[in-house]
Every structure is written in C-alpha cells, then in structure tokens.
Amino acid sequence: GQPGTRGTFNVVASDLPGMITQHAPNPIWFGFKDGKRALLRSFHVGDRFLASNWDDPSNPSDGEKRKQFLDWFQKQGYNTISIASHYLNRTVEARGKGWNTPDLWPLNAGEYRKMEMVLDDLQRRRIVVFPFAGFFGKEADYPRDPAEQEIYIKYTLARLGAYWNLMFLVGGPEPLFKKNPHMSFEEVNRIGTLIAQHDVFGHLLSVHNATGEDPFKDQTWLSYGVLQGPKTLDPAVLSKGLLQIRHPAKPVYAQETLWPGNTYGHPKYTATNARKNTIVAQMSAAAINYADMKGSSSTGFSGSMDPADKVQEWHDIIYGIWNYFETIPFERMKPRQDLVDNGYCLAEEGREYLIYLDRPGSVTPKLSSGSWKAEWINAQNLKQVKDGGTVLSGKPMQTPEGGDDWLLRVRKAGR
C-alpha cells in the first residue's frame, strides 16, 4: 500500500500443513512446517502441462485436459508433480517449442498470472510442485545480466513466495552437464546464494545435477539434494550410489533415477526391476520421482498426459509400495547398512528395524538385548504378512518359502 495508509487484517484458521521443508526431527526426510512428515509420491510431466494451447486455465470449455489428468493423478495416490519447462520454456523441438507456456521474461505480470492460475489449482489440491527447469532453465529465455537476474529473482519470489507447496530450483536440467553446460559452478553458487538471501519464506532450494553427482550438497544455500541416478537394474548399485552421493543431513529427491520407458541413459526396466528399485530407493531415504515415457522426458504418458498412453502397471506398482511405507514410522528411521549382513536396512536403532531382501536368503540383524518380534511382508503382495516369531541378536532370519523379495520388520516386543 501507500505510505501512511492504515487498515486491519484477520488471521483465519487453516488446516494447511505449512511449508514443504525438511522434517525437523530427522532432516534426511521431507516434512512440513507443522512438524508432520511428508512422503513425496512424485510423477514427472512434460512441457505442455502449463501451456494454454494444450489447456487454457481461463477457458473451462476447452476440454479441461489438465483437470482430467490431475483427477487421475490424485486417485493414483500422487501428491507431488515435477513439471518440465517450468518456470521458463525449454525452446527446442520435441521439448517446449510450440507450447505456449507462461513467458515470464522480460517481466510480464499477465504471464505470471497465467502460471499462478495453475499453481492455485495445485495448492488447492495439496500437490507439491517441483520446477524441472527452475529459475534458470536449460535452453530458456532467462536474463544473463547479473543485475537483471536479481530483478527477475526478486519479482518471482514476490509472486510465488507465499505458496506453501513449492520446491525451488536454481536451474535444470543439469546446468553443469559436461557436453553442454549452460551455467558454471560459480554461477550456480552465486544464484543459489542470491535466491536464498531474498527468499524470506525459506523454501526448499536445490539444483538439478548430472548422473551420479551432487557437487553442491555442502553449500549452505542448498537445503535438499536433487539426484539423477544411478540408473541401473542392480539394487545394490542403486543403494550404494544414493547413500554415497547424498548429504547425510538433507533430504533427497531422486529426480531422474527411475523413469520407465526413458531411453536417455536408463535401462529397460521390467515390472520386477521397478518394484525392487522403488523399495531400495525408499530404504535409502530417497523420494522417487516416477515417470511413464517412451523416449525423452517429454514423451509417453508423462509427455502427453493422455490416458490412452499410460502403462497402468507401472503406476500400480509404485502405488502399493508407497501405501505400505505410509503405514510405518519411516520418518524416525535412517539407512543403517552397518546393522545387517545382507539386504537393505532402515532403522530407529533400539526400537524398530525394516530390512529388505531383494532375493531369497537370510539376514542377521544386529539388535540390542531384549525380546524382539518379527514379521515378513511379501514385496510382491504387500498385504501378505507372515509371523517371523521372536528374534535374538546374532540369529539369522531366513526368508519364507515362496515369493521372491521380502521385507522384514523387527520391533521391540510389546510395541
């Protein structure tokens, strides 16, 4: 308002969870400012998502394709969306070119409003948003002059800062991509510091990284990691990579780690591969961003959002796994490979352990003294639970007969 003006405002009660952030008691996980945990159930969509020539948010008579997709998205259990050409259009063929996404630079209030109409719907639906391009996207029309960059950042933060459901990103994909970088290490650091300095709301902030790298994980402006890979069919390679690359006290968004149908460095995943890799990622405290593609990240169902293009089996697999993890107190646990001689372990030491064996075999968990009870959960049918009896530290536990991969849940007796 104008200097000297006066007025009143009312504080209205809300059931919103607060800003998406680190889970304060155990910051390797995501959480909300109200203290509750957040299990990000993420899916990647292509460049057309925000385009008015795919679905105009101001025109309810144009088919409402975005609404139809988001209705399915939520019924499928997704709560986080990764959006290509957001904030700025990746203006190349088969990517953002031809899609009329909001043209934010040079600064245009009307174009920001177009974007906000979609973001308003997403926040009403309680959907967390990851901008795949970020503030300074690859092959996008962003300001190059440092003074103009600061103006662009400050204006964008003024428009978007109050959204509780937005994750921030300096730039992507892969600003430091060795074959064709669009930013330097120093530029990313400078801009990351600038965004963090001006973001009075304190949003999560990161940068998209190349496969197997996170050179910014120790920077103070970075509050969560964005990992690409390892892209592998071997659960052991996936687990080792995720645990070695990540920061030990910041949450991780595994952005391009399991993209069925993507041909840019990804192997051909079977349904079994997808199941095992998803579980191993969760056991590594990494939030998976899923996909349904047929080539690049702008293809297949992820690219078109046309129901005729989706491979429903992919979505049903990860839906069941996420549903199971919602039933356990994962937010109190940490990856603890040192407590098992086989498989993958999440543990709240002295209280509860979750162990995943990706093939039949045995595991000997290191438990404190006392009585422990165990149950086996069939990873192929997570509703099938078998009593594992009483467990003693140093005693091998053998997977049940039948099945392939199993989860072993061990809890202190009496809990």
Q: Kindly report, residue by residue over 241-262, the tens digit of the pLDDT.
A: 999 999 999 999 999 999 999 9
Would you say residue 355 has pLDDT above 90? yes
**What confidence tens digit (pLDDT) does each residue in 269-304 have?**
999 999 999 999 999 999 999 999 999 999 999 999
| 256 & 283 share domain | yes
Q: 83 near 51, Cβ under 8 Å?
A: no
Does residue 13 lie in a domain region? Answer: no
pLDDT digits (tens, 9 = 90+) for 23-75: 999 999 999 999 999 999 999 999 999 999 999 999 999 999 999 999 999 99
- What is the tens place of the pLDDT at every residue in 308-327? 999 999 999 999 999 999 99
pLDDT in the model for residue 415: 65
| Same domain, yes or no: 291 and 350 | no
Q: Say if residues 71 and 59 touch (Cβ distance below 8 Å).
A: no
In this structure, the strands spanning 30-32 and 37-38 are: antiparallel
Same domain assignment for residues 231 and 366: no
288 part of a folded domain: yes
15 inside domain: no
Residue 11 falls within a domain, yes or no?
Answer: no
Residue 14 is assigned to a structural domain of this protein: no
Does 327 share its domain with 266? yes
120 and 235 share one domain: yes
Single out the residue in 288, 303, 331 at which a domain terminates. 331
- Does 316 reside within a domain? yes
pLDDT of residue 8: 86
Contacts (Cβ under 8 Å, ≥6 apart) of 72: 307
CATH number at 176 reads 3.20.20.80
**Residue 360: inside a domain:** yes
Predicted TM-score of the model (pTM): 0.96
Residue range 11-26: mean pLDDT, rounded: 94
Q: How many domains does the chain have?
A: 2
CB 80 within 8 A of CB 289: yes
Q: Are residues 73 and 178 in the same domain?
A: yes
CB-based contacts of 326, cutoff 8 Å, min separation 6: 39
Picking from 4-13, 187-196, 359-368, 387-396, which range would have the lowest pLDDT averaged per residue?
A: 4-13
Residue 248, burial from CB neighbour count under 10 angstroms (0-12, 13-18, 19+): exposed
Out of 20-24, 113-117, 369-373, pick the least confident. Answer: 369-373
Quick one: 54 and 143 in the same domain?
A: yes
Same domain flag for 244 and 128: yes
Of the residues 331, 361, 381, the one at which a domain ends: 331
Q: Give tens-digit pLDDT for 104-134.
A: 999 999 999 999 999 999 999 999 999 999 9
Q: Of 331, 363, 395, at which residue does a domain stop?
A: 331
Domain of 223, in residue numbers: 20-331
Based on the domain organization, do 225 and 116 belong to the same domain? yes
Tell whether 237 and 380 lie within a shared domain: no
pLDDT in tens, 154-194: 999 999 999 999 999 999 999 999 999 999 999 999 999 99
Q: Are 308 and 341 in the same domain? A: no
Looking at residue 10, what is its pLDDT?
86
Query: Mutual orientation of helices 185-198 and 146-160 as an angle, nearest 10°?
Result: 40
**323 and 342 share one domain:** no
Query: Per the domain annotation, does 201 fall within a domain?
Result: yes
Instruction: Flag whether pLDDT at 1 surpasses 80.
Output: no
